[in-house]
Structure 1
């Protein structure tokens, strides 16, 4: 995940261009599918844009790749400690995310985030790739998935197909939680090679 070796902005700029090229999409076509303006996409690819959670999740959904394929720097080796204060925050509507780690195990890939919902605000998502897991650490969180609603408190867990429309709302005060996004390895363009380490002239993937 993004960290001291690369900011979210710089890693998204690097990886977005490569993923888009491997999908065979022009900026105009990606703009049409994602409903993100061409000027905004150009800024993101040049590293001058200001990505939000909504933007990154929309690109993940349209390009059909995990978030980490857009934000990852390199795969960790050995002991790794991630200090929350050192991780760049990716902010969006009602929520702040800190990307902590990507874990590959067998046919599954997990992305681990520290997730904080701002008091009195709501985050809506039309859906994206993967399975979403949330564990509430503090506060009261309202979760709606495809019309079904549930309330979570500290210690509660919820999981669902992230392709379904879903929303979160901090029902009472600020809510702290851990978010895990789960993918199949075949949902990644290059399951064994981090995008940040790929050569720019590598041949397109499937």
Structure 2
């Protein structure tokens, strides 16, 4: 993440936190992100990981794309914004809102031999993956589904901890996350 994006994300985090009447301490407690880390993120002096952004977005009760961009009914990314975690690199490609849900589309890479457990999102959230290359194991952390290969699709509840794992080589995929209103 470049410095400009870190600054925009930090400003957006502060805006969302303040709109909900939360102190830095309270958001840090709800997200399990250190208060010092949160302060540095809001000031744009620190690059957040994918895991940190998801923890903060969940604690704020918003989809990840609300932290990456200002809210709009249909908001394609003006330029691809990339964020990385322990095993997953994600680029938000589309955000769509309708009265029933916010839907985000990401182009993701799961790095070879790596696995990442994501924390639960808001109640009712679902994720869908279409694997383009490689072989992935995805789904609820306690019971991931079978391996999904090129052209394959999987769907799982994302309101429980869930797993992304590249079985052998890098996995390139499309990920759709749907947050109900």
| Post-superposition offset of 1:88 | 3.3
Pairing 1:132–2:127 present: yes
2:140 to 141, 145, 162: 145
CA contact (8 A) 2:73 2:97 kept: no
- Superposed CA RMSD in Å reads 2.4
Measured against aligned partners, the alpha-carbon deviations of 1:138-182 in whole angstroms (never above 9, x if no partner) come to: 100012415222211111111222111111110010000001111
2:20 to 12, 19, 23: 23
Do the aligned partners of residues 74 and 27 (structure 1) sit closer, same or farther apart at CA in structure 2, a change above 3 Å counting?
A: closer
CA contact (8 A) 2:77 2:93 kept: no
Do the aligned partners of residues 177 and 77 (structure 1) sit closer, same or farther apart at CA in structure 2, a change above 3 Å counting?
A: closer
2:88 to 59, 83, 95: 95
CA contact (8 A) 2:130 2:152 kept: yes
TM-score, normalised with respect to structure 1: 0.78
Pairing 1:120–2:117 present: no
| Post-superposition offset of 1:135 | 1.0
Do the aligned partners of residues 33 and 81 (structure 1) sit closer, same or farther apart at CA in structure 2, a change above 3 Å counting?
A: closer
Give the structure 1 partner of residue 151 of structure 2. 155
Pairing 1:174–2:170 present: yes
**CA distance in 1 between partners of 2:46 and 2:98 (Å):** 33
Query: Which one has more relative contact order, counting CA pairs under 8 Å at least 6 apart?
Result: 1
SS of the equivalent of 2:57 reads helix
Do the aligned partners of residues 154 and 48 (structure 1) sit closer, same or farther apart at CA in structure 2, a change above 3 Å counting?
A: same
**CA distance in 1 between partners of 2:173 and 2:143 (Å):** 20
- The total of aligned residue pairs comes to 177
**CA distance in 2 between partners of 1:123 and 1:81 (Å):** 25
TM-score, normalised with respect to structure 2: 0.88
Q: Looking at CA atoms only, which structure, 1 or 2, has the larger radius of gyration?
A: 1
Task: Give the gaps of 5 or more residues in structure 2.
Answer: none
CA contact (8 A) 1:34 1:59 kept: yes
| Post-superposition offset of 1:76 | 8.4
Measured against aligned partners, the alpha-carbon deviations of 1:54-100 in whole angstroms (never above 9, x if no partner) come to: 0000011111111111111464879x797xxx523201111100111
